[in-house]
Structure 1
Amino acid sequence: MENSAVFLIRKQNLYKLYKECNKYETFGRLMAEQVAQRATEIAMSLASEKPEERFLNLIKKQPELFQRVPQKYIANFLGISPESLSRIRNRIHQKQKS
């Protein structure tokens, strides 16, 4: 969806880097913890929140996403259809009007 720079490092080279410098190992561990924590948050959200709650939380946390990502991908991330997302957005918009 957007141009990106991707850096690759082979597993064996990463482990070598970890051995050579503890700061890299700490950085790698912190990155892995963040990824695991985010995956857990997403899974818990999908299991316990209603679609409208997930939508509102996403708007609060990452409002710029709605300008950069097509609605169908946002709907997929929220675990709903694009049509459901459209209905939710309309319902929220109507609530804000009144």
Structure 2
Amino acid sequence: MLTITRPNLQLLYQQSPGFEFLGRIMAERAVQSASERAAALSCDTPEERYLSLMTQNQDLFRRVPQKYIASMLGISPESLSRIRKRILSPAKFLT
């Protein structure tokens, strides 16, 4: 990870239009991501949020403790455990 102070970032933007463009694109993506997350938290069910996160970031579930995933989904770790059990249980009978 790279960190940069705000004054140095502004200087970099002034000196390089390419970096200014990159900074704008990164800011737009961050705003879009935050907006999508807020909409999902208010509109989607916890199961829908879990399935969406699972589809988009499968590797996340191997690297991040369940309590943090539950927090990202806006639910308790116990609720996440129940959702996982409900979703994964039918899979046992299909194989």
Shorter chain as denominator, the TM-score bin is: over 0.9
Shift, 1:97, TM fit: 3.2
Q: Which residue of 1 aligns with 2:73?
A: 78
Q: What CA distance in whole angstroms lies between the structure 2 residues aligned with 1:71 and 1:48?
A: 22
Unaligned runs of 5+ in 2: none
- Structure 2: distance between partners of 1:75 and 1:92: 15
More helix by percentage: 2
Question: 1:1-98 to 2 correspondence within 5 Å?
Answer: 6-98=1-93
Question: What is the percentage of aligned positions where both structures have the same residue?
Answer: 51
Aligned residues: 93
Residue 2 of structure 2 aligns with an amino acid whose one-letter code is F
RMSD: 0.9
- What TM-score comes out, normalization by structure 1 length? 0.90
State the 4+ residue runs in structure 1 displaced beyond 6 angstroms: none
Equivalent in the alignment of 1:3: none
Shift in Å at residue 95 of structure 1? 2.6
Using structure 2 for the length normalisation, give the TM-score.
Answer: 0.93
Q: Secondary structure at the match of 1:80?
A: coil
- C-alpha displacement of 1:49: 0.2
For structure 1, list consecutive stretches of 5 or more residues without a partner in the other structure. Answer: 1-5
Distance 1:13 1:93 in 2: 49
Q: How far off its partner does 1:96 sit? A: 2.4
